[in-house]
Structure 1
Amino acid sequence: MIIVTGATGQLGRLAVEHLLARVPAERVGVSVREPGKAQDLADRGVRVRQGDFDDPASLAYAFEGAARVLIVSGPADAAPHRTAIEAARDAGAGRVLYTSHMGANPASPFLPMPSHAETEQDLRASGMPFTALRNGFYADTIVRVIGQGLRSGEIVAPADGPVSWTAHTDLAEAAAVALTEEGRLDGVTPPLTGPEALDLADIAAIASELTGREVVRVTVPDDEWVAGMVARGIPEAQARFMLGMYEASRQGEFAEVGPALGDLLGRKPTAFRDVLAAALAT
């Protein structure tokens, strides 16, 4: 059985949908904190069990009979992921897959990246066959970040660098391929990225074209941006967490564009323009 964690979240749910297009429902199980939110999957024949990374006993139940387990990464903390890896090993899974990040780096200023790097090390130390899917930066992240700017006509943010924004559905499909096709991906993958790297000036230009209204990029100093976020009611710790994303992008941590995702999907990955156009249409 193939087990997917976090199947009520965006990436996990999409991964399940792509799996169901490839294998019978009775071969798919999900581990979720709130099984009621996955009732529609149960109605389609998917095995739904309660599982929580903070509760190893629940994972033993949720992972029972697993041949492969996809661990969808959560918050910037490696400890829960380590618990899930151990549970997959104890359940006898033949391979564990983890949604890592192209920027996984113990020295990154963006806190999730050291966590991903630590989890990759835990995978190596587990003794299990593993796949660390080094996903490109989710395109939906920046769509949410620039939402206010699209309304006001000004994308106000700290200095940034190019990022290879990547569509959730492409990464979910890649995970489904890796879960179902033996030998496609082993160990730490190359970056699984969208087709181009864009900075916020590029995104402002695309937004202007799509909306027919001028959207300009306004760069502000880091501390001024943090102060502005705090003035809008964002806790300072959260604002500085978000600042780390810009700091890392300035260092080029998310700029690589590679062929691995397209090779895996057998088609060109979705362009950021198409992700933003779809978001604007909803």
Structure 2
Amino acid sequence: MIIVTGATGQLGRQIVERLLTRMPADGIGVSVRDPHKAQALADRGVRVRQGSFTDPAGLAHAFEGASQVLIVSVDKMGEECLQQHLTAIEAAVAAGARRILYTSQMGASPTSHFQACRDHAATEEALRACGVPFTALRNGFYAASAAHFVGHAATSGELALPADGPVAWTAHADLAEATATILTDEGRFDGPTPPLTGGRALTFDDVAAVATEVTGRAITRITAPDGQFLKQLTGQGVPTETADQLLGIFTASRAGEFATVDPALATLLGREPITLGTVLREQLSNE
């Protein structure tokens, strides 16, 4: 049985949907914090069990009978993030999974300027040491993040953010489809994958131009000093540590950590990846 964690989240939910087009529902299990939110999957024959990365005993039940476990990374950074990932890896090993998959990021490195990428690198090291074959999905930076920034700019007409560098923005839908393909073809990718990226690397100057085209409203890119960006975030109630971590996205992009464009995702999909413009249209039309 293939077990998917985080199956009610934006990425995990779409991965399960893609798996359901490739295999019988009774071969899929999901580990979720709130089973009620996964009732629609249970109604379709997917095994739904409660599991939390902070509860080893619950994960043992959720991962029971696993042939493969997909660990969808948590939306946290730092020591708390790593500890939860280690708990999930240990549970997958104890369940007897023959392969563990993990949603990493293209910039994963212990020397990254972005805390999340350092966390991904540490998790990958734990996977290397766990004794079970693994695949680290080096996902491109989510295009939904760019769309989030544009959502505010569409109202104000200004995209005011720190200096940045090119980013290979990548759609959740494409990454979900690729992940389902990898899960159902176990011969692919031993260890980290190549970067699974969209077809172009765009700066926020480029994003502003795309957003202008999509919305029909002129959106101006304004470079805000790092200190001003931090002050704005903390003024909105964002904790100082979190604000520093968010600034790390821009620091890392300035260092070229997210600039690589690789054909691996297009090869897995058998088509060109979804463009940022398409993601922006979909997101803005839903707001």
TM-score (norm 2): 0.96
**1:13 alignment counterpart:** 13
What is the alpha-carbon distance in structure 2 between the residues aligned to residue 96 and residue 125 of structure 1? 12
**1:264 alignment counterpart:** 268
**1:139 alignment counterpart:** 143
What is the alpha-carbon distance in structure 1 between the residues aligned to residue 244 and residue 93 of structure 2? 36
**2:172 alignment counterpart:** 168
Which deviates more, 74-83 or 214-223?
A: 74-83
Where do 1:1-282 residues align within 5 Å? 1-74=1-74, 75-76=76-77, 77-282=81-286
Which deviates more, 232-241 or 21-30?
A: 232-241
After superposition, give the CA deviation of every residue in 1:82-131 in whole Å (9 maximum; x if it has no partner): 11111111111110000000010111121111110001111111111110
What is the alpha-carbon distance in structure 2 between the residues aligned to residue 232 and residue 114 of structure 1? 26
What is the alpha-carbon distance in structure 2 between the residues aligned to residue 186 and residue 125 of structure 1? 14
Deviation at 1:210, TM superposition (A): 1.3
What is the alpha-carbon distance in structure 1 between the residues aligned to residue 184 and residue 172 of structure 2? 19
Q: Secondary structure at the match of 1:146?
A: helix
Deviation at 1:136, TM superposition (A): 0.3
% identity of equivalent residues: 59
What is the alpha-carbon distance in structure 1 between the residues aligned to residue 104 and residue 214 of structure 2? 31
In 1, are the aligned partners of 2:143 and 2:279 still within 8 Å (CA)?
yes
Ranges in structure 1 where 5+ consecutive residues have no aligned partner: none
TM-score (norm 1): 0.98
Q: Secondary structure at the match of 1:258?
A: coil
After superposition, give the CA deviation of every residue in 1:24-74 in whole Å (9 maximum; x if it has no partner): 000000000111110111011000001111111111100000000000000
Q: Secondary structure at the match of 2:148?
A: helix
Which deviates more, 236-245 or 6-15?
A: 236-245
Deviation at 1:213, TM superposition (A): 1.1
What is the alpha-carbon distance in structure 1 between the residues aligned to residue 152 and residue 237 of structure 2? 15
What is the alpha-carbon distance in structure 2 between the residues aligned to residue 270 and residue 112 of structure 1? 24
Q: Which runs of 4+ in 1 moved over 6 A?
A: none
What is the alpha-carbon distance in structure 2 between the residues aligned to residue 143 and residue 64 of structure 1? 38
Give the AA of the match of 2:178.
A
In 1, are the aligned partners of 2:150 and 2:211 still within 8 Å (CA)?
no
After superposition, give the CA deviation of every residue in 1:114-166 in whole Å (9 maximum; x if it has no partner): 11000111111111111000000000011112321121000001100010000
What is the alpha-carbon distance in structure 1 between the residues aligned to residue 235 and residue 63 of structure 2? 45
What is the alpha-carbon distance in structure 1 between the residues aligned to residue 199 and residue 184 of structure 2? 24
Q: Considering only aligned residues, what root-mean-square deviation do their CA atoms show, in Å? A: 1.0
